[in-house]
Amino acid sequence: MNTQNRQKSHQRNTEVEELLKELNGLLAIAENEVKVEYEAPKYPCVFVVGCARSGTTLLMQHLASLNIFAYPSNLMSRFYDTPAIGAKLHHLLINLDSKKEVFGRDQTTYFESNLGKTKGAASPHEFWYFWRRFFKFREIQQLSEAELNNVHLELFLKDLAKIEQVFNRPLLMKAMILNWHLSHLAKLLPKAIFIFVQRNPLYVMQSLWKARLDFFGDINQWYSFKPPEYWELKNKSVYEQLAGQVFYTNQAISKELAKIDDDHKIFLEYEDFCQDPENILETLKEKMKDQDFDSTINESKKSIFQNTNKISINATDFKKLESAYQAYL
């Protein structure tokens, strides 16, 4: 994503970035001293994938609220280079803080976000800085075979195992940054389960339209991950760009998941999830059982989510988005 020309509310704080870099560097020695029993996670990792603005954050918040997964939190995200330290701090300051003396109320039960960003130390985070330590993307989010071979896979798997070990729970993470390499991730983690969140494409396009305005204040600035077709799309109209972004991203995910056995994937419609959030829990429980993990997933307290599929931009623009998407079909 273009990091320049952001709206003021979305600009990075240089002082914070520099301090985090310094702090992660200082903690690196301690991180290396953390002993890990396994070279890779022993439990089935659960990866949420899908096009941006499809409801992936809402699903993450829902699953995180069940208190059965280890997941990267806003607190842990500050320790992207030292994930074991971050996980231990989360465990100490949040999980073991029964009196809520440090951060107050548990905000994992707040199902609100702004462009994928949640609030509260314990709320789930996208953890993109962590992923980018290993997968060196440039303009687009597809790597060559040579670039994939250069990934420090042993350290990547070991870092995931460290997080799992601290919490002794299965890992739950967004993996949308690897939408174009999910089958590769599945080979690295044979027990992994992928949840593909899909939403009515027109409302995904509309949400991406609004995200461009919110994030950049400019409808012509590209928001979120770029498929390989970006080079073709970038010179087209905004309507064609958004249609292509959604179409090609979903197509790529579908192709990658087609290479993965059915026992390791779940297809989830955003609209169905909003109406019945509990249904995904039973399905996920069965998939994890197939991977020899008897989950303690129980029903949550949330019975329904608001479906935000409604036209919220100019009707003419929405119609043009619809026409552009139909052209791809």
Domain boundaries, the chain: 19-328
State the architecture of 19-328 in CATH terms.
3-Layer(aba) Sandwich (3.40)
Q: In the prediction, which pLDDT does 158 show?
A: 96
Q: In the prediction, which pLDDT does 301 show?
A: 60
Secondary element (H or E) of residue 267: strand 265-269
Q: In the prediction, which pLDDT does 300 show?
A: 62
Q: In the prediction, which pLDDT does 299 show?
A: 62
Report the C-alpha gap between 77 and 127 in whole angstroms: 6
pTM for the model stands at: 0.93
pLDDT < 70 positions in the chain: 1-4, 105-110, 298-302
Q: In the prediction, which pLDDT does 106 show?
A: 60
Kindly give, in sequence order, each residue whose CB lies less than 8 Å from that of residue 256, ignoring residues fewer than 6 positions away: 179, 180, 181, 182, 183
Report the C-alpha gap between 92 and 95 in whole angstroms: 6
Chain-centre distance for alpha carbon 37:
26
Q: In the prediction, which pLDDT does 113 show?
A: 82
Report the C-alpha gap between 185 and 293 in whole angstroms: 19
